[in-house]
Amino acid sequence: MKKSYFPVLVIFLVLSASACTPESPPSRTIVLTTQPETQVPTDLPIASATTTNQTSTPKTSPVTLTPTPQFSHRIGIRLVSGEAEFYDRLTGDKFVPRGYNYVRLAPMSQTNPGLWHSTLNPGYYDRERAGAALQAMHAEGYNVVRIFVDCCREGNNVGDPAGGISTAYLENVIDFLEKAKANEIYVLLISDLTPAQGGYDDMWQHCCETFAGENLRYLTPGGHRGERRFNQDLIRALIDAGAPLEAIFAYDLTNEVHFNLDKPPFSLTAGKVTTANNKTYDMAVAEDKRRMMDENLVYWIDQQRAAILEVDPSALVTVSFPAINSGQTTVDPRPAIWESTADFVDLHTYLGWGLSLDQYMERFGVDQTPEKPIILGEFGASNRAYPTADSAGQALKEWQVASCKYGFDGWLLWTWDGFEQAELWNGISENGEISSILSPLNRPDPCK
């Protein structure tokens, strides 16, 4: 979900969404590899000693070296019998992401009452509440939590006004990662928009008259450059601070990518436009506009993923897509699913919004099992359609089971305890029936 400036249904369609200084983190060695993750692992790599002194000195007893895992992230992707699946790189066990979105919202500012993400922001982040939530999730067998890194809270976001990443914000991200690790939960970290502070927006917001709105992000070199620098700066800052990267499940390039049809270049009816991929499209031709959208989506994903792997080679990278395109926004996830290098794709669906699961899948173009994993990174239920938490939980269970035939590999409910959005049930609503019904402890097989 994206921005929540507007009430009721529009909240869902547009939602994309404090700080004690910790002790100096312990030093840690991160050994990385660029080995493709599409192979079934055998044994962990064994370190070997190389003889450097070729003399007649009598040999001593060989030194036994402890095998060092050649990765910093525990979860990878492999092919088994031609099917892609998540797995634990350390144990070799199959991994099935099941969990929640953990979201806190608050008014954007004193003059702007619209709700916006506040989960990790300095002055808003509640460490005790976050820790208790993760502990409760773990107790029910959940293993993944999806969380937003805030771009846009006025004067208080992940960007530092002096440039780069905010140290105070970073401390909160690391605290959450450490709490997640302590509870054996992996974090799907959404970098979302480039932050308002830090110098990143400046690289693309005022490009030219040919591009505007979200189109600036995906179609212009400046948009690509700003996103690339932000992602790399954030990850480097986490590494430099000793953050537990092994607790990160994946990086989401942005929450619910989409284009603005009512803004240039899509609003233009004539002229030719050259985009970030160095291709030129005729705005008088509808098919060219479609190609511009699809080709640049793939190019943007591929470029951003490559930039992340430059600094974090064993990471998984995903991108998410909205349940419904609203107003003058649109995007087709098919190119991302079938053509991009994204490690997996995150699709969002909601019960009670007028679409069946089959209709969602038709819109998404998922008519057969994709060659890469797909997850429902957001699925939730409206309390208008389901009068009790128990009825919503049963419907969500049936939805989850039905999604297995389309090849879904993971499910994250919106949300764990999101009381700020009263129109949606959350995991602990009423007596926690939804969390109990979806619990991996109660239902080890999500497809039954």
* DSSP states along 269-330: -SSEEE-TTS-EEETT-HHHHHHHHHHHHHHHHHHHHHHHHHH-TT--EEEEE-SS--TTEE
Q: Mean pLDDT across the stretch 416-426?
A: 96
Q: What is the pLDDT of residue 70?
A: 56
Nearest to 95 by CA among 33, 142, 147: 142
Q: Which residue has the tokens 């079938």?
A: 338
Going by their DSSP bridges, the two strands 75-80 and 186-190 should be labelled as: unpaired
Residues 6 or more apart whose CB falls under 8 angstroms from that of 23 comprise: none
Tokens linked to 196: 């308002």
Three-class HEC string of 181-233: HHCCCEEEEECCCCCCCCCCHHHCCCCCCCCCCCHHHHHCHHHHHHHHHHHHH
Q: What is the pLDDT of residue 214?
A: 93
Q: What is the pLDDT of residues 117-144, one digit of tens each?
A: 999 999 999 999 999 999 999 999 999 9
Q: Mean pLDDT across the stretch 64-72?
A: 51
More confident residue, 370 or 426: 426
Q: What is the pLDDT of residue 58?
A: 37
Q: What is the pLDDT of residue 192?
A: 85
Cβ proximity of 407 and 374 under 8 Å: yes
Q: What is the pLDDT of residues 296-344, one digit of tens each?
A: 999 999 999 999 999 999 999 999 999 988 778 999 999 999 999 999 9
Tokens linked to 163: 């440039």
Examine the pLDDT at 19 and tell me if it is beyond 80: no
pTM: 0.84
Examine the pLDDT at 52 and tell me if it is beyond 50: no
Q: What is the pLDDT of residue 370?
A: 86
CA 284 to chain centre: 35
**CA distances (Å), origin 106, targets 5, 30, 49:** 11, 36, 56
pLDDT band at 72 (very low <50, low <70, confident <90, very high): confident
Q: What is the dihedral of CA 269, 274, 276, 279, to 10 degrees?
A: 110
pLDDT band at 71 (very low <50, low <70, confident <90, very high): low
> Which range, of 175-179, 366-370, 429-433, averages the lowest pLDDT?
366-370
Query: What domains sit in the chain, N to C, each tagged with a CATH number?
Result: 79-438 (3.20.20.80)
Distance between CA atoms of residues 31 and 312, nearest Å: 10
Q: Mean pLDDT across the stretch 89-114?
A: 95
